[in-house]
Amino acid sequence: MKNIILYWPRFFREAWNTMKYAKAVKSIEPELIKENLRVDWIGRIYTVISVKEELINQPDLMQQSWVFQQLGPINSILLKHGLSNDAFPEITKLDVSNV
Model pLDDT for residues 35-56, shown as the tens digit of each residue: 889 999 888 998 888 888 888 8
Domain ranges of the chain: 2-98
What is the C-alpha separation between 83 and 95, in angstroms, rounded? Answer: 31
Residue among 88, 90, 79, 89 nearest 28 (CA): 79
Write out pLDDT tens, residues 64-90. 889 889 888 888 999 999 988 888 888
What is the C-alpha separation between 55 and 64, in angstroms, rounded? Answer: 10
pLDDT above 80: residue 96: no
Sequence-ordered list of residues with C-beta below 8 angstroms from that of 50, at least 6 positions apart, any chain: none
